[in-house]
């Protein structure tokens, strides 16, 4: 993507010119999208319905029995995800100098990529995150791509492993509860 832009995005490039080439098209698209959405009632209804569902989901946390436990577990998951990102970032010589700010920016880029309606963000994640590393931190394109595939692969492997363990534990717990009910 970056190579197709009509500007040189090297470290010596005029930052204002780079900003204009990247921000102006985004602003034009956003203005057009807002205009289109406001004119289309079906789209507005969809956005309202989505917003109400999102809001209800957030407010449902306050209706849980164990609110504090839920919040602590959620924070722990995000903290571990952050540390995993940071660890993989430090594993590559070309990214080892990057700090916590880089991990946060990659989180933002990765979140945008995962929001694209593709299974697990596959494709969009592998396109946007390396470009973020190349554009924002001047990481070699090959190293940025390697980082992305290793990180996403590691993340997927952990999810599969955790899911398999959860499935086994749930199955064991269901059988155990059934045996206890039979004994009574």
pLDDT in tens, 103-148: 999 988 888 888 777 775 567 888 889 999 998 899 999 999 999 9
Which sequence spans correspond to the domains of the chain? 1-63, 66-184
What pTM value is reported for the model?
0.61
> pLDDT for 23-47, tens place per residue?
888 888 889 888 887 888 888 888 8
Tokens describing residue 182 = 């039979």
- 66 vs 18, 41, 147, CA distance in Å? 49, 40, 37
Query: Residue 147 in contact with residue 92, Cβ under 8 Å?
Result: yes
């Amino acid at each position: 993507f970056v190579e197709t832009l009509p500007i040189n995005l090297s470290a010596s490039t005029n930052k204002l010119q780079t900003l204009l080439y990247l921000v102006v098209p985004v602003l034009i698209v956003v203005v057009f999208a807002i205009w289109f959405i406001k004119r289309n009632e079906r789209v507005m209804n969809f956005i309202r319905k989505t917003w109400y569902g999102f809001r209800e989901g957030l407010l449902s946390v306050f209706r849980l029995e164990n609110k504090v436990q839920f919040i602590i577990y959620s924070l722990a998951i995000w903290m571990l995800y952050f540390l995993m990102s940071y660890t993989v970032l430090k594993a590559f010589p070309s990214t080892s100098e990057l700090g916590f700010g880089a991990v946060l920016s990659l989180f933002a880029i990765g979140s945008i990529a995962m929001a694209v309606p593709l299974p697990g963000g596959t494709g969009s994640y592998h396109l946007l995150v390396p470009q973020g590393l190349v554009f924002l931190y001047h990481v070699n394109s090959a190293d940025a791509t390697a980082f992305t595939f290793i990180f996403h692969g590691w993340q997927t492997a952990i999810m599969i492993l955790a899911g398999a363990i959860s499935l086994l534990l749930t199955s064991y717990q269901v059988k155990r509860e059934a045996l206890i009910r039979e004994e009574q």
